[in-house]
Chains A and B, each alone.
Chain A
Amino acid sequence: MKDGPAFMLTNTEIEKYDRQINIPEIGHCGQEKLKLAKVFISGAGGLGSPAALYLAAAGIGNIKIVDQDRVSLSNLNRQILHGEADVGRFKVDSAKDSMVRLNPEVNIETAPQTITTDNVSRLVSGYDIIIDGLDNFETRLILNKTAINLGIPFIHGAVNGFEGRATTVIPGRSTCLRCMHKEGCGPMAIKFPVIGVTPAVIGAILATEAIKFLLGIGDLLTNRLIVYDGLTLCWAEFKLKMNPKCDHCGHLQKKGVL
């Protein structure tokens, strides 16, 4: 049988995604939307690993993953895209191998690059959503600003130890990272302590938010910050407010884009 249009699911895909196609909120049409989707993942580390794997498994059609680092032994307690045999390789290369092994039908682009103010627009242009799997606040602010300028939703996550957090930024319509913090926190310890189960929880939330946004279902984490404590298994939810003076998204608020 001749293949149909690119968005149409093949028989193999219909079988592969059967369990999620059976979810009323997804269905056959939703699965086709996921196949057409383009997701940008910044970082192939603790947060990027579960997010990338679950998005690949869910049948996101196009994933770009960017990370300048090479795999080191101390990454492996949490960065489940990589194994011991990958030590020394670019993380994006082993990330691609892991995602392809899981789902060869996903189109994966990689870039072993540092995200900077000079290259960020080129890297993220054309993507439907940006996932924050970064390990520093300064680059998060670069992505936050670019996401707002280009109108691309930005899903933020961060972890430390047993604690994690997440919020979703819809440019001009919900609180952005800059609305929460006028200044970044400056350089922080590069070797932040963390156990893999924490980014596993938060990374899965980032992937969940991406899927919900792409399908237009559920309630996003907009204007909400959820904070997870693995030691008590308690969640706190804080209400966030857009800052009219925000130098990243305030201009959208003034223009009445809301």
Chain B
Amino acid sequence: MSIKISLHKTHRQFTQGLSTVEVNGRTINDCLKALIQNYPKMGKVLFDSEGKLSKLIEIYINMESAYPDELKKPVKDGDEIHITIMLAGG
């Protein structure tokens, strides 16, 4: 089960500059936890102090929104997860 995670450019400082990371998992939550295991600083970026997905984070799977209940969504071999951040400036 190889899942590709594409990282937002502001997060690449926490992944040694990598823009994509391959992980294993059956759900988006599995994949994010695997990402954090390899790159612990992604933990504070993705989850708030209560362990919930940060309000700033948006997750897309195969270019399609995973919202709501993103973390429970299943993934399969070859899927691609995009992590982006909400923008609010104007």
A is bound by B: yes
Contacts from A to B (Cβ < 8 Å) = 43, 45-48, 132-137, 140, 157-160, 163-165, 175, 179-186, 188, 192, 194, 199, 225, 227, 229, 231, 236-241, 243, 245
Shortest Cβ distance from B33 into chain A, in angstroms?
Answer: 22
- What are the residues of chain A within 8 A of B68 when measuring CB–CB? 182, 243, 245
Contact, CB under 8 Å: A134 / B90:
yes
Q: Which of B9, B56, B64 contacts A231 (CB 8 A)?
A: B9
A8 to B88, CA, bound (A): 40
7 contacts between A and B (CB under 8 A): A43-B90, A137-B88, A158-B88, A179-B67, A180-B58, A185-B55, A245-B68
A186 to B67, CA, bound (A): 18
Interface check B60, CB cutoff 8 A: yes
Contact, CB under 8 Å: A165 / B64:
no
Interface check B89, CB cutoff 8 A: yes
A137 to B63, CA, bound (A): 23
A182 to B55, CA, bound (A): 9
- What are the residues of chain B within 8 A of A48 when measuring CB–CB? 90
How many residues of B are in contact with the other chain, CB < 8 A?
17
Q: Which of B55, B60, B90 contacts A158 (CB 8 A)?
A: B90
Q: Which of B9, B64, B84, B86 contacts A185 (CB 8 A)?
A: B86
Contact, CB under 8 Å: B88 / A194:
no
- What are the residues of chain B within 8 A of A165 when measuring CB–CB? 87
A167 to B65, CA, bound (A): 13
Q: Which of A133, A181, A236 contacts B82 (CB 8 A)?
A: A236
- What are the residues of chain B within 8 A of A231 when measuring CB–CB? 9
Contacts from B to A (Cβ < 8 Å) = 9, 55-56, 58, 60, 63-65, 67-68, 82, 84, 86-90
Closest B residue, CB atoms, query A138? B88
- What are the residues of chain B within 8 A of A240 when measuring CB–CB? 65
- What are the residues of chain A within 8 A of B65 when measuring CB–CB? 175, 180, 225, 238-241
Contact, CB under 8 Å: B55 / A184:
yes
A185 to B88, CA, bound (A): 9
Contact, CB under 8 Å: A158 / B67:
no
Contact, CB under 8 Å: A192 / B64:
no
Contact, CB under 8 Å: A229 / B9:
yes
A132 to B90, CA, bound (A): 8
Shortest Cβ distance from A250 into chain B, in angstroms?
Answer: 12
Could you say which of A180, A199, A238 has the most chain B C-beta atoms within 10 Å of its C-beta? A238
Given contacts A157-B90, A159-B89, A184-B55, 10 further A-B contacts (CB under 8 A): A46-B90, A135-B88, A160-B89, A163-B9, A163-B87, A180-B67, A181-B86, A182-B68, A199-B90, A236-B63
